[in-house]
Amino acid sequence: MSSVVLITGAATGIGNLTARALAAAGHTVYASMRSVRGRNAGHAEELLRLGRREGHDIRVVELDVQSDASAEAAVATILEDAGRLDTVVHNAGHLYVGYVEAFTPEDVHRLLDVNVVGIQRVNRAVLPHMRSRRSGTLLYVGSTTSVVVPPFLGPYVASKFAADALAQVTAYEVGRFGIGTTIVMPGPFTQGTEHFPNAGHAGDAARTSAYAALDPMVARNEKATEALFPPGVDAHPRAVADEIARIIALPAGSRPFRTVVDFSQAGVEEVNEVLRRAQEQFVTRLGFGELLHVEGTQS
């Protein structure tokens, strides 16, 4: 069954690849991005041309996750245009690379505003509609960094931890209204996205220079990451888009709460399973076991 899907941060990278994969699968895709008529005009037109050429239903909508008004307007546009919104793919995000001490409080605040508060803005815009229909899916593009905690990405890792926690607790509550949740956890990728080339850096140059002894480690970080991939494996983020398409194609009630797409063999699946069992036991002992299931899909 085809769905109406909103994807945040669809100009490039995983969001762009996901828009293409979902449209090819027959879904109505609203690829959202900032500056549709400005700096992202080329990306927007490329997606629209693809839709026309391949007969896919790709539409572009302006959405800045740092603006309440923008999130509300984007969702209102989709509902007026399509009449419903079935799935939100929370993909928009930014990367910071550097030494934690050198990031100013303002640096960290900006990153959290995009990677965490941005999710909350979009959820607040879409959840009234999903609650009224008692159906829908919130799909979050998380990160294995919230398990393995790599160095030199401190504020980014903190933001992914926070986003993951927000997604989990939101899932308890919206599940009572028939709304499902999936957290897709990509591992590291060194090709196919603009994440690292467009990464932000610490605002305090003096504090950065104090850590100069660690600069050689930062310089070899990309090669060190690539060395984790098995020989001959095509570690490309299109695998994340394909996994998202697979999940959305599953019937409601059968979608996994978490799934990992990781070519670095970091063992995240094993950690997730231990955490799942502990969490389920704890919530059940609290007497809130019904919050572990989506209303209407499981007994």
CA–CA dist 111, 130 (Å, integer):
28
pLDDT for position 194? 62
Asked if residue 116 is part of any domain, the answer here is yes
Asked if residue 297 is part of any domain, the answer here is no
Asked if residue 298 is part of any domain, the answer here is no
Decide: 182 and 130 in contact? Cβ < 8 Å: no
Who's near 78: CB < 8 A, 6+ residues apart? 4, 6, 30, 61, 85
CA–CA dist 33, 201 (Å, integer):
22
Asked if residue 75 is part of any domain, the answer here is yes
Decide: 266 and 187 in contact? Cβ < 8 Å: yes
Asked if residue 299 is part of any domain, the answer here is no
Domain housing 245: 4-292
pLDDT for position 196? 64
pLDDT for position 86? 98
Asked if residue 247 is part of any domain, the answer here is yes
pLDDT for position 195? 62
Please report, for the domain that includes residue 213, its CATH number: 3.40.50.720
Residues of the chain with pLDDT under 70: 192-197, 298-299
Question: Could you read off the pLDDT of 225-260 as tens digits, one per residue?
Answer: 999 999 989 899 999 999 999 999 999 889 999 999
Structural domain total, the chain? 1
The per-type count for the chain, helices as H runs and strands as E runs, is 12, 9
The torsion angles phi and psi of 267, rounded to 5 degrees, stand at 80, 20
Who's near 159: CB < 8 A, 6+ residues apart? 93, 111, 112, 114, 115, 116
For the whole model, what pTM was predicted? Answer: 0.95
Q: What residues act catalytically?
A: 156
pLDDT for position 156? 97
Asked if residue 209 is part of any domain, the answer here is yes
CA–CA dist 51, 45 (Å, integer):
10
